[in-house]
Amino acid sequence: MPSLLIFSDIHNDARALEKLLDREADYYIAAGDMLTWSRGAEKIGPLLARRAERMYVIPGNHEAERDTEELCRRFGLHHLHGKTIEVAGYHIAALGYSGPTPFNTPGEYSEAEIAERLSKFAGLNPLVLICHCPPLETPLDQIRPGLHAGSRSVREFIEQQQPQYFFCGHIHEAEGVSTRLGATQAVNVGKRGYMLTLGA
């Protein structure tokens, strides 16, 4: 049964990343914001390269797509943004970036862009969906009680498609939070990460 270690929001924290990569997994998925404001590739890239042949990366809101493409090219990683891979009969689909933020970070989509990019994953079953951005107004995007900062389009996709698993990051305050959204088991993985064993 293959294992996936999914993590996000490292933000140049080399110690946290080294601790994650000491864990054995069949696949490693970096779900965005490995860098901060597109800076730090020279420090983080060589660490990700330790697991290069099994390392899949998407951009967060702190990386433009071209930053992640260059990171993958330089360090022999796999770019998974907007793509799918198949593992043990499961479709692993990933979409980076966040919705609009007040900070004008490099990796932001409009809600319409998120919906359009997620639409290519519709109908995949069984589906493991990994996005940088959490679904709106859920435990996964809560900054504090009553304040949410997720994506309406991500939530609508989950509600309509009901992937078996959903993983995200982006909202640091919700790191480690898990919930169920209908039939979907959903987790904000953060820099602590989450180990998923498919078929367990």
pLDDT tens across 160-193, in order?
A: 999 999 999 999 999 999 999 999 999 999 999 9
Q: Is pLDDT above 90 for 112? A: yes
Give 174-183 pLDDT, tens digit per residue. 999 999 999 9
Longest C-alpha distance within the chain, in Å?
42
The per-residue pLDDT of the chain, averaged, comes to: 97
> Three-state DSSP class for 69?
helix
193 φψ region: left (φ > 0), alpha (ψ -120 to 50), beta (else): left
Topology annotation, domain 3-197: Purple Acid Phosphatase; chain A, domain 2 (3.60.21)
> What is the token pair recorded at 5?
């270690």
Q: What is residue 164's predicted lDDT score, i.e. its pLDDT? A: 98
CA contacts within 13 A on the Cβ side of 119: 7
Predicted confidence band at 199 (pLDDT cuts at 50, 70, 90)? Answer: confident
pLDDT over 70 percentage in the chain: 100
Once rounded to an integer, what is the mean pLDDT over residues 4-23? 98
Residue of 69, 62, 131 lying closest to 101 (CA atoms): 62
User: What are the structural domain ranges in the chain?
Assistant: 3-197
Q: Say if strands 90-95 and 3-7 run parallel, antiparallel, or are unpaired.
A: unpaired
Q: What is residue 200's predicted lDDT score, i.e. its pLDDT? A: 72
Q: What is residue 73's predicted lDDT score, i.e. its pLDDT? A: 98
Q: What is residue 159's predicted lDDT score, i.e. its pLDDT? A: 98
Sheet holding 165-168, edge to edge: 83-87, 90-95, 127-131, 165-168, 184-188, 178-181
Give 128-154 pLDDT, tens digit per residue. 999 999 999 999 999 999 999 999 999
Q: What is residue 79's predicted lDDT score, i.e. its pLDDT? A: 98
Residue of 149, 152, 144 lying closest to 103 (CA atoms): 149
